[in-house]
Amino acid sequence: MNRSSVKELLESDKFLQEIHVKGWVRTFRSNRFIALNDGSTIHNIQCVVDFENTEENLLKRITTGAAVSIQGTLVESAGKGQKVEVQVDTISILGDADPDEVSKTILQPKRHTLEKLREQAHLRIRTNTFSAIMRVRSALSFAVHQYFQNNGFYYVNTPIITGSDAEGAGEMFRVTNFKANEAPLDEAGEVDYTKDFFGKETNLTVSGQLEAETYAMGLGKVYTFGPTFRAENSNTTRHLAEFWMIEPEVAFNDLDANMDLSEDFIKSVLQYVLDNCKDDLQFLEQRLVQEDKSKPQAERSEMRLLEKLHFVVDNNFKRVSYTEAIDILRNSKPNKKKKFKYPVDAWGVDLQSEHERYLVEKHFKCPVILFDYPANIKAFYMRLNEDGKTVRAMDVLFPGIGEMVGGSQREERLDVLQEKMAALGIAEEELWWYLDTRKFGTAVHSGFGLGFERLVLFTTGMSNIRDVIPFPRTPQNAAF
């Protein structure tokens, strides 16, 4: 007999049908009612055991966490809270779960803190919260590919090991085959990387942008979706050392077209999960409502999760230049009352997350696209404006998240790019191939990077980025 998923059974109305299902026991009460889950949906299916005709020994092995195989009949349920249930004909235990051992883990059916769940990241996927998050994450990644594939983009796999620092921020993890303390030295006493595996210094990529740009200059519209790595020592709820980034790059797009793309893209993937993850989003919304109850009024969410997602899909993002933003911040209450940790005075300062959050959460109360930043706080590849002091950069800021997207129109003029690199001490020999794209048929082009986990964070209403990726990598933590 074909095996059905719990989801299929719950949606079925073919009563009195013989069925076969496998899953894990969430709870077993009164020696009779199994709540069974197989990951296909947030909901469990109730399986009713005829305990009088079931061997005592077998009944004892139906415990929380055990994997079971059930054959039975799908019937209309008389109980509250479910439409259908399974009358068990035969049950076999595929994998036992010793109750004493289970009681020491998060499999035990009771409320556990998110911190506790993080310590057992290999088991947390058996909880409602994590299965909901990870189904939404999966749907979002499908929606990402669907959006780009439907809009004429090609998926490009840029290298994970690279020899260049795309962001020029130097926050890279070194990749080497040298053993610690055994690295060969050159005449100057420096480590001689010409003798290393790749014959040069290499690192894990911080961004696939530079390689994606070269591909956009041939394929026209491309996107990457892959892991990126940052060795920044930021122990925050928004930073991971290993995260997934989506980077579209489009030939002939200027900054306005880039902003349009980012907004349309984000709205489209959110709409996809609204259409396809209703049960999980409803569960996550309820979770948030419960969590909010334990918080002071001021920290509670103003909107419910679904309302918030609909709000983003239905409203235009506000587009504001850096210069306008500085004016707003300078004249803001928290700035005048010296409530910002970093006071905003002069034009040219980098915006801190407290400033970004003020703009989106207090002032505009919607996603904001900030553009035309001062050149000297942004990366070398951004296109210089006519004013000579700002660049065609854009950041998309989200309530509760801060920076979701960073992008720009790229400097397509060879001489301007060379000057910029020289000023920043970036060697042309390192990026000769990048400069080639400006020599052979250069063109206006733009792109951006969206941190996938920040998108999942926003969509699920979770508050710590460690809870939206299966096995988070953060400073001092690479467990599992």
Binding site for ligand 4AD (CB under 6 A): 166-167, 207, 209, 230, 239-240, 243, 245, 247, 403-408, 447-451, 453-454
Of 35-43, 135-143, 150-158, 403-411, which part binds Mg ion (CB under 5 A)? 403-411
Contacts of 387 by beta carbon, 8 Å cutoff, 6+ apart? none
For 288-400, list the strands marked E by DSSP: 318-321, 368-374, 390-398
In the bound state with ligand 4AD, the residue whose beta carbon lies nearer, of 308 and 378, is 378
CB 226 within 8 A of CB 158: yes
Binders of Mg ion: how many residues, by CB under 5 A? 1
What does the alpha-carbon distance between residue 114 and residue 468 come to, in Å, rounded to a whole number? 11
Beta strand 174-175 pairing with 17-29? unpaired
What are φ and ψ of residue 466, in 5° steps? -65, -15
What does the alpha-carbon distance between residue 130 and residue 285 come to, in Å, rounded to a whole number? 13
Q: Hey, what are 97's tokens?
A: 């779960």
Partners of residue 449 on adjacent β-strands: 406
Contacts of 297 by beta carbon, 8 Å cutoff, 6+ apart? none
Binding of residue 461 to Mg ion (CB under 5 A): no
In the bound state with Mg ion, the residue whose beta carbon lies nearer, of 292 and 403, is 403
Least distance to ligand 4AD, CB of residue 395, Å: 7
399 binds, among ligand 4AD, Mg ion, none (CB under 5 to 8 A by kind): none
Binding of residue 449 to Mg ion (CB under 5 A): no
CB 306 within 8 A of CB 285: yes
Least distance to ligand 4AD, CB of residue 353, Å: 12
Out of 72, 208, 402, 406, which residue is the one contacting Mg ion (CB under 5 A)?
406
In the bound state with ligand 4AD, the residue whose beta carbon lies nearer, of 4 and 408, is 408
Q: What angle do CA 362, 366, 370 make, to 5 degrees?
A: 90
Least distance to Mg ion, CB of residue 400, Å: 17
CB 366 within 8 A of CB 381: no
What does the alpha-carbon distance between residue 235 and residue 241 come to, in Å, rounded to a whole number? 9
Least distance to ligand 4AD, CB of residue 51, Å: 50
In the bound state with Mg ion, the residue whose beta carbon lies nearer, of 130 and 458, is 458
In the bound state with ligand 4AD, the residue whose beta carbon lies nearer, of 166 and 312, is 166
| Residue number, nearest CB to Mg ion | 406
383 binds, among Mg ion, ligand 4AD, none (CB under 5 to 8 A by kind): none
In the bound state with ligand 4AD, the residue whose beta carbon lies nearer, of 196 and 412, is 412
- DSSP label of 288: H
372 binds, among ligand 4AD, Mg ion, none (CB under 5 to 8 A by kind): none
